[in-house]
Amino acid sequence: MDWEELLSTPPVDQRGYWNPQWKASVAVALAHLLAVSGGERVAVPDRPVAEAFRRAIDSLLPPGPPKRYLRLAWPGLSAAITDIALVPWHPQTGEVSPCEAGALVPLAAGVWTYLAFHDDRRLVPAAYGMPADNRAVMIECAS
């Protein structure tokens, strides 16, 4: 499969439990991250990467200002240069996505894809539906 054909893996299974693939993938990536951090504090971008990694990083690395920076990396995803890149690991070929970073932290492609592209915003039902006559609303707003 091409990289673009890989599906994302949600963090929670159909029963509402933490997905076992996520448990394993995040644990392996965390071990790589700790190794490449050199024991220095690592800054983690906000949601959703932070939800997967920040608590463990906060408990395993020393407190203080970050000296290293972790970012999701993929060609064209972000122009930000980083010293630690969280990159997808292809499940069929075993390849890691190429990246120009100081260190690479591989993460299962399905988990990486979910972190990079999933919009976790929740839809909230509107209090009122659209009025039957939308033109009346537009006229009222325009005046």
Residue 27 has what pLDDT? 94
Q: What confidence category does residue 120 fall into, taking pLDDT thresholds of 50, 70 and 90?
A: low
Q: pLDDT tens digit string along 24-39? A: 999 999 999 999 999 9
Q: Model-level pTM? A: 0.74
104 vs 118, higher pLDDT: 104
Each residue of 41-79: pLDDT tens digit? 999 887 788 888 999 999 999 989 998 999 888 766 655
Domain extents for the chain? 3-142
Longest CA pairwise span in the chain (Å): 63
